[in-house]
């Protein structure tokens, strides 16, 4: 169960990188609310998950040691503290440049050895993704792994964690249609050379995304696979060559059109029959 979106960014970041833990059901049928210890009041429990019984007006289940996840090793705690420190720096200083470092440090702690080896093996095949996480804020830059020329959001566990996808609705900018379209859950996107993606929550408007105009302008300046960029010199030259090959200037078609006017009446002489 992910943490509520109302919690701070630091807690949500920790929710992505600390080891997962299954919260048991309440014996009294009450919801169990999750949390993560940030080490402020209990330094020895830094990085541990916990839950409390939200009884409201009913009877609460008794919380004990079983309401806390296992204690992390000293080595794991140190790595998580470094990742959290880098992420905190990104929040206040330079989110665009430092976000990748924080994500890499944190997700190395959360991922298994197999995931890390696979990421290293295909490091060169990636697509840049500009992600708008918070309303009226700047974008974050992320690199998604390309498989066989396609990128799938659902297959990217790291980014899905930040976006809460597919549980939350997200949209991607389509430069062919010049607008944002919802991202289908089971979709894979063809990656055009040098192209990048722009994604945001479906509820966001253009005015909620700082720097969006510059990103869209850059995206439209890139040549499209199989067709030149809109309005470019390359496009004009291609149209000119096509006209010259046809042997006529651009204009109305000069193909012979069928005569659809009134035909002259022909009188037949039947007197000699």
Tell me the C-alpha distance between 95 and 102, whole Å: 10
Pair 160, 183: CB distance under 8 Å: no
pLDDT computed for residue 61 by the predictor: 59
pLDDT at residue 123, rounded to an integer:
44
* pLDDT above 90 (res 261): no
User: pLDDT per residue over 213-234, tens digit each?
Assistant: 999 999 998 876 544 444 445 5
Is 260 exposed, middle or buried (CB count within 10 Å of its CB: 0-12, 13-18, 19+)? exposed
Higher-pLDDT residue of 211 and 63 is 211
In this prediction, residues 56-73 reach a mean pLDDT of 74
pLDDT at 8: 60
Give the residue extent of every domain in the chain. Answer: 1-95, 111-221
The percent of residues above 70 in pLDDT, for the chain, comes to: 63
The chain-wide mean pLDDT, for the chain, equals 74
Instruction: Reduce the DSSP state of residue 94 to 3 states and report it.
Output: coil
**Other C-beta atoms within 10 Å of 159: how many?**
22
pTM value? 0.43
Distance CA 225, CA 244 (A): 24
Q: What pLDDT band is residue 204 in, cutting at 50, 70 and 90?
A: very high
The alpha-helical segments, DSSP class H, found in the chain are 9-17, 74-92, 95-110, 113-121, 157-163, 212-221, 233-246
Q: Which backbone phi and psi does 143 adopt, to 5 degrees?
A: -110, 120
Please provide residue 179's backbone torsions phi and psi, each rounded to the nearest 5 degrees: -175, 170
pLDDT category of residue 170 using cuts at 50, 70 and 90: very high
What is the percent of the chain with per-residue pLDDT over 90, rounded to a whole number? 17
> Cα(first)–Cα(last) distance of the chain, in Å?
99
Cα separations in angstroms, 190 against 88, 127, 180, 217, 255: 34, 10, 16, 20, 39
Instruction: State the Cα–Cα distance between residues 19 and 17, nearest whole angstrom.
Output: 7
- Phi, psi dihedrals of residue 159, rounded to the nearest 5°: -70, -35
CA distance 108 to 126: 18
Q: If you average pLDDT over residues 28-51, what whole number do you get? A: 86
Cβ partners under 8 Å of residue 220, min gap 6: 175, 229, 230
Report the pLDDT value the prediction gives residue 207, as an integer from 0 to 100: 92
Range scoring the smallest mean pLDDT among 39-43, 82-86, 250-254:
250-254
The first and second tokens of residue 34, run together, are 């999750």
pLDDT value at position 232?
A: 47
Confidence at residue 25, expressed as pLDDT on a 0 to 100 scale = 82
3-state secondary structure of 28: coil
Min mean pLDDT across 86-90, 155-159, 201-205 is at: 86-90
Q: What is the pLDDT of residues 92-149, one digit of tens each?
A: 665 545 555 555 555 555 444 444 444 333 345 889 999 998 888 888 888 888 888 8
């Amino acid at each position: 169960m992910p943490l509520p979106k109302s919690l701070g960014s630091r807690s949500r970041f920790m929710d992505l990188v600390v080891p997962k833990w299954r919260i048991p059901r309440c014996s009294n049928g009450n919801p169990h609310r999750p949390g993560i210890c940030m080490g402020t009041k209990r330094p020895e429990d830094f990085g541990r998950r916990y839950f409390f019984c939200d009884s409201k007006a009913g009877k609460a289940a008794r919380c004990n040691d079983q309401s806390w996840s296992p204690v992390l090793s000293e080595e794991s705690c140190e790595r998580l503290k470094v990742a959290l420190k880098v992420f905190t720096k990104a929040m206040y200083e330079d989110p665009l440049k430092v976000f990748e470092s924080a994500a890499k440090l944190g997700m190395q702690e959360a991922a298994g050895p197999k995931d890390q080896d696979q990421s290293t093996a295909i490091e060169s095949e990636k697509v840049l993704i500009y992600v708008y996480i918070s309303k009226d804020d700047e974008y974050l830059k992320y690199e998604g792994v390309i498989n066989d020329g396609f990128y799938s959001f659902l297959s990217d566990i790291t980014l899905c964690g930040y976006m809460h996808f597919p549980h939350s609705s997200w949209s991607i900018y389509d430069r062919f249609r010049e607008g944002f379209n919802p991202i289908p859950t089971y979709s894979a996107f063809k990656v055009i050379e040098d192209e990048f993606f722009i994604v945001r929550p479906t509820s966001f408007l253009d005015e909620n995304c700082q720097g969006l105009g510059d990103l869209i302008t850059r995206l439209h300046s890139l040549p499209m696979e199989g067709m030149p960029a809109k309005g470019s010199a390359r496009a004009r030259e291609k149209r000119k060559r096509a006209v010259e090959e046809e042997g006529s200037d651009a204009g109305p078609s000069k193909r012979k059109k069928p005569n659809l006017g009134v035909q002259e009446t022909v009188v037949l002489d039947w007197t000699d029959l």
